[in-house]
Structure 1
Amino acid sequence: AFRTMAAAEVSKQCRDLGRKFFSEGNWEEAIKQYTRAVQHSPSDPTLYTNRALCRQREAGKWSAARADCEKAVDLDSKCVKAYYYLGKADMEHADYGAAIRHYRRALDLSAERPQTKEFHDDIYDALYIAKKYQFLREEEGRIGELEALKERCKRLLEQSSRDVGGEQSPMDVDGATLEHQLSLVESLFFQETQKIRQKEVPDSFCCKISMDIMKDPVVTPGGHSYDRRYLMAHLTKV
């Protein structure tokens, strides 16, 4: 029992030092202190998430940070910070699908645990960004498919304009007509590409304060819609 108490006390001292170094921006020393704390309290998931955050702040430590988060999840399957930081690591590697899954898990858990509710808005924002990047990647993929289809159509048109075995193909066209058809193909595919790239969000979906898409919309007695988070923040300043 004495050893357990001594280990817990040493762990607390190291954790406090880790927080101190973290607040000073000294990630390397903070990591050292949290590592010492882990050695004395290896079953405390908070120590792993704290060290993971330090490692995320220090360049090139994303793999180690991920390992800490996964260990924290092993110790506590409902560790909000662990899933949140895993999402950040996923974003760093452009794995948007995994980031969305981790952020959603963190968001669900934050609603269950009042002590982590302060992270709710940050997680929501991170999830929104991950979804946005995933959407943009999918749109770029569609544009790439359109580009490949356009080039194939142009090749087929050019091929149909040539002699086939010394005889004219039924689809043969003169140079001017071919040029017109190729130009038409370019124009049609350009229009479709622009439709993908120039999608606009209706004003009714946007908060009048943040000018961003509303995540938790509320309507005032005057009939105006705002995001609850930004409206409450605005009212506290008035």
Structure 2
Amino acid sequence: MVTGGGSLSAAAQQAEQLKLLGNFYFKKEHFGAAIDAYTEAITLCPNIPVYWTNRALCHRKRNDWARVEEDSRRAIQLDNKSVKGHYFLGLALLQRQEYTEGIRELEKALDLGRGADPNGYMVEEIWQELAKAKYIDWESAFVKRSWELQHLKEACELALTEKHFRDVSQMEGFIDQAEAEHSKQLLALERVFRGAAEADMHTEVPDYLCCRITLDILRDPIITPSGHTYERAVILQHLQKSKSDPVTREPLHPSQLVPNLAIKEAVQAFLDKHGWAYKP
């Protein structure tokens, strides 16, 4: 007779075998068969988050975003620190053009991914998707702001023109003066709206927000004892080959790297203001 504990153990072992089978089918791009295998594993052990995220990935490959969302949410319920759960949920929400919620989930996945494995492939992949999402979100808002700005400008021009006609009718003998004043006001109006439009355009990323090695915008900045800031994954890779600061050549150990929270906040503020100017 098999005990209750033995039955659970047998079910867990069978579920793991089904997961491995699903992984095999996934690599062969037999996504339907992989989904079936993961589904059987879930039936046996429904409280294992990875089974849900594995199945969500298969649904993603088939562009079945409703099921991606369902499985991702279930994985997050089981483990709120599931990187893939938040990542896949973010992607599914973006497909529904729920940009605010989708971006929030991707940011959560990025933070969790950095904490778990700063050099992992998932961190770079999540960053790229987050960059695209924020750019699309900013671009959509930019188009709306541009239309509103143009509409406001036209309304102001119309109001100035109407005022000009009233002034001309009341300033007999001073028409030239009225024309000059009208032209002056239109030029001032043009400068104001041109400045507003330019302030909303993309801009170059300042040097101090870029990694000293790659010259790319910082994503996970750390600072060394010498005061130089680098991208965490890049400096760690450098330290595998050389045990010194790339700029000062002073001895440097990974334990001496400290998160540069000030620069991280500055990067986020810059990207929020300029529409994720780093377009992947």
TM-score, normalization: structure 2? 0.66
Q: Is the 8 A contact 1:80 1:116 kept in 2?
A: no
- 1:50 CA drift (Å): 0.7
Q: Does 1:199 align with 2:203?
A: yes
- Aligned CA-pair RMSD: 3.6
Q: Deviations over 1:43-88 (max 9, x none)?
A: 22211111111111222x1111000011122233333321121112
Matched residue, 1:72 = 75
C-alpha displacement at 1:133, in angstroms?
4.4
Task: Indicate whether 1:215 and 2:213 are aligned.
Answer: no
Report the CA distance between 1:149 and its aligned residue.
1.3
Which of residues 234, 237, 242 in structure 2 aligns to 1:233?
Answer: 237
Q: 2:161 aligned with 1:158, yes or no?
A: yes
Whichever residue aligns with residue 76 of structure 1, its letter is D
Find the aligned partners of 1:32 and 1:80 in 2 and give their Cα distance.
Answer: 23
The number of residues matched between the two structures is 233
Question: Structure 1 length as normaliser, TM-score?
Answer: 0.76
* Within-5 A mapping of 1:113-132: 114=116, 118=120, 119-120=122-123, 122-123=125-126, 126-127=129-130, 129-132=132-135
The partner residue of 1:185 within 182, 189, 196 is 189
Distance across 2 between alignment mates of 1:173 and 1:67 = 71
Gaps of 5+ in 1: none
Q: State the identity %.
A: 33
Larger RCO (CA within 8 A; separation ≥ 6): 2
Alignment equivalent of 2:17, drawn from 4, 13, 37 = 13
1:147 is aligned to: 150
Corresponding residue of 2:43: 39
1:9-57, Cα deviation, whole Å (9 max, x unpaired): 4322321111012222332322222122222222222111111111112
Contact (CA 8 Å) 1:73, 1:79: kept in 2 or not? yes
Does the CA-based 8 Å contact 2:220-2:231 persist in structure 1?
yes
| 8 A contact 1:160–1:169 mirrored in 2 | no
Q: Distance in 1 between matches of 2:189 and 2:175?
A: 15
| Aligned amino acid, residue 81 of structure 1 | K
- 1:29 maps to which residue? 33
User: Which residue of structure 1 lines up, in the alignment, with residue 169 of structure 2?
Assistant: 168
